[in-house]
Amino acid sequence: MISLLAKQVTLALVWGAANALPSSNASPILDTRSVQPAYVSVAVTTLWTDPSKPRAIDEPALTNPVQMDKWLSMNVSDYSDLTTNSRTQTQALFGARVDIIGHENGWYEVALPGQATPKNALGYPGWVPAAQVSFDQEYGRLLSEKPFAKVEKAATVPLYRDHSLKSKLMEVTYDTRLPVLRETKSAIEVATPGGGSAYLSTHDASVYKSASDIPYPTSLDLINTAKLFLGLPYLWGGMSGYAVDCSGFTHTLYHSHGIDIARDADAQADFTGHGTPVAQADLQPADLMFYASNLSDASTIYHVAMYIGNGEMVEAYDSGTPVRITPARFTDEYWGAERFLKHRKI
């Protein structure tokens, strides 16, 4: 995913030109008066570049409930067209907070506070169908006050209607986080946006008091998480257990283990300033490897993969290529690597 000037110009109209064009290093002064919190009410909502971008075949992605399997059965040329026409931006998972910053006929413009980007200091911007968010403020209160259950076991897991885990309400994806109401040995009762309570199996999710309680991962933890995504489709803007793009994949690997990195590949390398550059000879598992069309210009970084050791990496490469483990590429577009994991000395 590459920064688009067009997006910044749209935001300039929303926020006023003086404070809406963030540079890589400076945050704009924010006018948050008109920002209203809402919560994703489908398994995954896709943020579109603008409401004109979805095609007829994207209808299953716009409904509530969302029909991901139907949507993702599109052919490779329809997948590629999402990239070449810059239709999709990113995704947000069930129960996540989105901040409404604009609206138009059946659509909300939102920013995702959990996905850092130089495009907007409020969070990653894009448009979502109004039918896929809820303004349930009681849910919002629970989300900010209660411990949360985090889906960890698989790319997708069931969310149940009943504590005996017999009747499936819907599917939720890896790293979905929902406020916890009650826990038993086998079931976690969670709140849902606009929908009352539901249940996760204790085999599928863990409970944390806050994001800072998530155990600091080892490189093996990150690699094991990556393996849950093997074989999933590449989707431009994808960032869920249904499909991912290159940086949505690496963002999720780190985010699910409590480490925040930027959303897009160029920003992961350049923007957050949290990574430490790593020479090729010093690569360690879990280091992120970046590829650029011009090695002297970090804004041309177009791809990120995660090194997993033994000369191999894991990546979401491009449309038509499922998430894969492949020999680490050191081509003339290899820009370098960054380390986000602080390796503890033993």
Ligand X SMILES: *[C@@H]1O[C@H](CO)[C@@H](O)[C@H](O)[C@H]1NC(C)=O
The CB-based long-range contact list for 211-218 (8 Å cut-off, 24+ gap) reads 211/258, 212/258, 214/150, 214/257, 214/258, 215/257, 215/258, 216/257, 216/258, 216/342, 217/257, 217/258, 217/259, 217/341, 218/341
Q: Does 278 bind ligand X (CB under 6 A)?
A: no
Q: Does 85 bind ligand X (CB under 6 A)?
A: no
Q: Does 137 bind ligand X (CB under 6 A)?
A: no
Cβ neighbors of 340 (< 8 A, separation 6 or more) are 254, 259, 261, 274, 275, 286, 288
Is 288 within 8 Å of 267 (Cβ atoms)? Answer: no
Q: H-helix or E-strand containing 205?
A: strand 205-208
**Amino acid at position 93, single letter:** L
Span from 91-99, 186-194, 225-233, 289-297 in contact with ligand X (CB under 6 A) = 289-297
Nearer to ligand X, 202 or 299 (CB): 299
Closest approach, Cβ 181 to ligand X, in A, equals: 43
The CB-based long-range contact list for 58-61 (8 Å cut-off, 24+ gap) reads 58/87
**Amino acid at position 197, single letter:** S
**Amino acid at position 64, single letter:** N
Span from 26-34, 73-81, 121-129, 246-254 in contact with ligand X (CB under 6 A) = 73-81
Cβ neighbors of 215 (< 8 A, separation 6 or more) are 257, 258
CA 290 to CA 305: how far, in whole Å? Answer: 7
Q: Does 78 bind ligand X (CB under 6 A)?
A: yes
Q: Does 77 bind ligand X (CB under 6 A)?
A: yes
Q: Can you count the helices (H) and strands (E) in the chain? A: 7, 20
Of the candidate residues 73, 297, 330, 343, the single one contacting ligand X (CB under 6 A): 297
Span from 10-18, 292-300, 304-312, 328-336 in contact with ligand X (CB under 6 A) = 292-300
Nearer to ligand X, 50 or 78 (CB): 78
Of the candidate residues 27, 34, 73, 75, the single one contacting ligand X (CB under 6 A): 75
Nearer to ligand X, 71 or 108 (CB): 71
Size of the site for ligand X (CB under 6 A): 7
Nearer to ligand X, 87 or 150 (CB): 87
Span from 1-9, 71-79, 235-243, 280-288 in contact with ligand X (CB under 6 A) = 71-79
Of the candidate residues 12, 21, 57, 298, the single one contacting ligand X (CB under 6 A): 57
Q: Which residues contribute to the site for ligand X (CB under 6 A)?
A: 57, 75, 77-78, 294, 296-297
